[in-house]
């Protein structure tokens, strides 16, 4: 079997839009470069909220692993990577969840889970 350009997979790390109307939330994903913006992702690598300008979830190790395999990083994701590296010293960074996802999905509601538990 011969390998052609159609058979090779070029992976890009880019943003995909989620959320609702006038309240976007972006996921950082690894995806085949030929797929559309909201196509099926190979892996979800993080979440970004543009209203609060904070990274909700950021898996730096997984992003570095994809880059090592040859993935191309979009300009927007590269800016977010630099922001993440500036925000915390290397020793204090922990992978995964940085904030409560409920607060990001519903930014206008009260985000304290303890106050909602009794409702």
pTM above 0.85, yes or no: no
pLDDT bin (cut points 50, 70, 90) of residue 54 is confident
Quickly list DSSP for the chain.
Answer: ----TTTS--EEEEEEEEEETTEEEEEEEEEETTS-TTS--SEEEEEEETTTTEEEEE-HHHHHHHHHTTPEEPHHHHHHHHHHHHHS-TTT--SEE-S-HHHHHSTTS---HHHHHT-
| Residue 26 pLDDT exceeds 60 | yes
Domains along the sequence of the chain with CATH: 11-117 (3.30.1320.10)
């Amino acid at each position: 079997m011969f390998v052609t350009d159609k058979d090779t997979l070029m992976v890009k790390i880019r943003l995909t839009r989620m959320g609702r109307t006038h309240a976007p939330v972006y996921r950082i994903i690894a995806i085949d470069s030929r797929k559309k913006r909201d196509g099926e992702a190979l892996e979800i690598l993080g979440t970004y909220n543009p209203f609060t300008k904070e990274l909700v979830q950021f898996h730096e190790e997984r992003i570095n692993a994809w880059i090592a395999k040859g993935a191309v990083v979009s300009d927007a994701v590269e800016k977010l990577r630099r922001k993440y590296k500036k925000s915390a010293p290397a020793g204090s960074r922990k992978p995964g969840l940085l904030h409560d996802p409920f607060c990001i999905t519903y930014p206008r509601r009260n985000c304290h889970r303890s106050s909602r538990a009794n409702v």
